[in-house]
Amino acid sequence: YPGMKILSSAVMPGGYMLQGQAAASSAAVAGFFTSEMARHGWRDESPQAPAGLPMTSLRFVKDQRATGGNLIPDGDQVAVQIMITPSG
């Protein structure tokens, strides 16, 4: 997301984790990632959010890879967690 501050990144068993924070709403960040991932050929498999849950979950699949993310409102910002893993 443009202007997102990267707080940490790590190699995890079976994938990679990125954590950041953006000065935007969850809806704006989700819209950006959904649009950009589709533009690059990723299929959106994001789950429907249960009513009343403040966290937004995203999931995209392409070839043998999958990426998922959680967007968690934090005041006037949103915490962003992204995990990239082999598909399966």
- CA separation for the pair 13, 42 (Å, rounded): 23
Structure confidence by residue, pLDDT tens digits, 13-52: 888 999 999 999 999 999 999 999 999 999 999 998 777 7
Report the pLDDT value the prediction gives residue 86, as an integer from 0 to 100.
74
| Region class of 45: left (phi > 0), else alpha (psi between -120 and 50), else beta | alpha
Q: Where are the alpha helices (DSSP H) in 1-88?
A: 26-39
pTM: 0.87
The residue-averaged pLDDT of 60-66 equals 90
